[in-house]
Amino acid sequence: MSVVAVVPAAGSGQRLGAGEPKAFVTVGGTPMLVRAVDGLLRSGAVDHVVVAAPAELVESARRLLPGRPVTVVAGGADRTASVLCALGALHDGGDPNGVHTGDERSGTRRGDAPEVVLVHDAARPLTPPALVAAVVAAVRAGHRAVVPVLPVADTVKRVDAVGRVVETVDRTVLRAVQTPQGFTPELLLRAHRAAAARGAAATDDAGLVEAIGEPVHTVPGDATAFKITTAWDHRIAENLLQDNDN
Ligand code: CTP
Ligand code: MG
């Protein structure tokens, strides 16, 4: 039974402000999208990847990923919509724009029901393959929704509309959530369909699972799986890669 990873990569990267969609911005000379996809495949735990790219860059994304078991489809208006576009490609035989660019024999044919579906941001290009494997293992072990998390280091306060502190939140019960997040396909699809019916979106997929009352399991995350959101994050990623080369 196979593992498919969905990679939402259709965002514009407003906060990074690089002048091009974030997934196409390079880190250490390689586009984030390519690093994210290759990290998934290097885990040895992922058979096929479905990328949701900006509609006008679907062809460009395909050209960046030759020889890999990858399908590229057009994404949607927000992250939740992009994930749903990618899920359509693996579930119903797909978006008509989606084509295989990789090796059909090594990949999972579209329409096959995978055992595990991962959702992984293109904006987390340094995610260690071992983390990918750990999330897949947790789903295989029987957890139907799995998220990697880290403890929160900063003191966290709740504020009101004018920025006045309302309270200090107990950070020992808080976790910062990363990707890849892992799911059984049935649960992830049910959560997304319910969200679409409600007209709801979320910043992660586990949030949609929570919204339908299903349990979400946590596994230890990894600091290097951080998301590149701002120019500062991008600089940190560049520096980490330089350190690794030396
Ligand atoms: N994403 C997507 N489709 C969208 C919006 C976001 O596939 N319509 C993806 C991004 O490409 C990214 C991931 O979701 O890999 C996490 O989103 P975020 O970090 O917010 O990226 P952007 O939306 O591109 O950045 P910003 O919010 O700063 O514009
Ligand atoms: Mg965004």
pLDDT tens, position by position, 201-239? 889 999 999 999 999 999 999 999 999 999 999 999 999
For residue 238, is it within any domain?
no
The reported pLDDT for the residue numbered 87 is 95
What is the residue range of 100's domain? 3-228
pLDDT at 217: 98
**pLDDT for position 115:** 96
Which residue's alpha carbon is nearest to atom 19 within ligand 1?
A: 229
Is residue 198 in some structural domain? yes
Per the prediction, the chain carries an average pLDDT of 92
Is pLDDT of 134 > 80? yes
Q: How far apart are CA 42 and CA 136, in angstroms?
A: 13
pLDDT of residue 98: 38
Provide mean pLDDT across the span 36-55.
98
The ligand 1 atom at the shortest distance from the C-alpha of residue 16 is 28
Q: Does residue 246 lie in a domain region?
A: no
Tokens 């990789």 correspond to 102
Residue nearest ligand 1's atom 5 by CA? 11
Smallest-distance ligand from the CA of 179: 1
Flag whether pLDDT at 170 surpasses 70. yes
CA nearest to 136, candidates 3, 1, 242: 3
The count of structural domains within the chain is 1
Q: Distance, CA 199 to ligand 2 centroid (Å)? A: 17
Mean predicted confidence (pLDDT) in 14-32? 97
Burial class, 14, CB count within 10 angstroms (exposed 0-12 / middle 13-18 / buried 19+): exposed
Q: Give the pLDDT of residue 121.
A: 98
Does residue 210 belong to any structural domain of this protein? yes
For the stretch 58-88, pLDDT in tens is 999 999 999 999 999 999 999 999 999 999 9
Q: Is the CB of 114 under 6 A from ligand 1?
A: no
Cis peptide, bond prior to residue 114, ω within 30 of zero: no
Q: Give the position of tokens 């997934």.
A: 23
Question: Is pLDDT above 70 for 57?
Answer: yes
Residue nearest ligand 1's atom 23 by CA: 11
Instruction: State the CATH number of the domain containing residue 175.
Output: 3.90.550.10
Taking the C-alpha atoms of residue 210 and residue 93, their distance in angstroms, rounded to an integer, is 27
Is the pLDDT at 94 greater than 70, yes or no?
A: no
ipTM of the complex: 0.99
How much is the CA Rg of the chain, to the nearest whole Å?
18
* Amino acid 101: pLDDT: 38
pLDDT tens column, 174-185: 999 999 999 999
Looking from the CA of residue 77, the nearest atom of ligand 1 is 8
Return the pLDDT at 73: 98
According to the model, what pLDDT value does residue 111 have?
A: 52
With 60 as the cut, is the pLDDT of residue 110 above it? no
Written as one letter, the residue type at 149 is: V
